[in-house]
Structures are given as structure tokens and as C-alpha cells.
């Protein structure tokens, strides 16, 4: 990742198409992860759509999530789910694996994971 690049994370991940591949790989991992799978509905497609909107915005692309759903308020939106430290770690591991599987270069992958750690642990609401 060229830290001096004019491109934001969204662009460096391949914009909509690149991010979509990562998200689809990520959720394929999530539904196989015993700590995470029970938290998600059988029809994962709506979750994938919202994640696409959110991560597009979060990584510097168009504000799709806010345009469709208002302010993200992600912690509040996740309060109904028992999120533990172990689940946050499993979520990050699934994302890390998805980035690797999509051949995101190591420096960018590490930057993305570091950027997602704050929100992942901010959602923890259960000991």
C-alpha cells in the first residue's frame, strides 16, 4: 500500500467490485465460523448488501450506508447480539482470511485489519 497514494482504502481494494469479492469471501468464512454463524440469518444476502454499503463508506467511497439507513450508529445496531471479545477476534480473523484469499497485499491487508479493530472491539457488549 502506498501510504502517500491519492487513492483511499476503498479505491485500493478495487472499489465496488473488489470490495464485493472480499465481502462475499468474508461471509463465506463467517457462516463456517462456529462463534459467528449463530448470529447471522440463514439468508445472508441482506447482510452482505448492508456490509457493502457500510464498508464502502467506511473506507472512503460514496456514503451509501448513510444514504440508505441514516447515521451508521453501529454499536447501537449490534447491541441485540451478544458480542464477546472472542467473537470480535473471530470476525477479524474471518476478514483477515478474506483479504488474504483475495490476494490483498500484506501492507494494505494489515492496514485494513488495524482500521477495523477499533470498531470490532467497540461492539463488544458481553463478557
* pLDDT for the residue 60: 97
Predicted confidence band of residue 80 (pLDDT cuts 50, 70, 90):
confident
Full DSSP string of 66-126: HHHHSS--HHHHHTTS---HHHHHHHHHHHHHHHHHTT--HHHHHHHHHHHHHHHHHT---
pTM of the model: 0.90
> What are the pLDDT digits (tens) for 15-31?
999 999 999 999 999 99
Residue 2 in this model has a pLDDT that exceeds 80: no
Predicted confidence band of residue 71 (pLDDT cuts 50, 70, 90):
confident
The yes or no reply on domain 10-122 and CATH 1.10.490.10 is: yes
> What are the pLDDT digits (tens) for 58-70?
999 999 999 988 8
| Domains in the chain: boundaries | 10-122
* pLDDT (average), residues 71-76: 77
Amino acid at each position: 500500500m502506498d501510504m502517500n497514494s491519492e487513492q483511499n482504502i476503498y479505491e485500493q481494494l478495487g472499489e465496488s467490485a473488489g470490495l464485493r469479492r472480499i465481502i462475499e469471501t468474508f461471509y463465506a468464512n463467517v457462516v463456517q465460523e462456529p462463534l459467528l454463524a449463530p448470529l447471522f440469518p440463514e439468508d445472508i444476502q441482506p447482510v452482505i448488501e448492508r456490509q457493502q454499503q457500510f464498508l464502502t463508506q467506511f473506507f472512503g467511497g460514496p456514503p451509501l450506508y448513510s444514504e440508505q439507513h441514516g447515521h451508521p450508529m453501529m454499536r447501537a445496531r449490534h447491541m441485540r447480539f451478544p458480542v464477546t471479545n472472542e467473537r470480535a477476534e473471530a470476525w477479524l480473523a474471518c476478514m483477515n482470511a478474506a483479504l488474504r484469499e483475495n490476494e490483498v497485499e500484506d501492507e494494505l491487508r494489515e492496514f485494513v485489519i488495524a482500521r477495523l479493530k477499533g470498531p470490532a472491539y467497540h461492539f463488544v457488549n458481553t463478557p
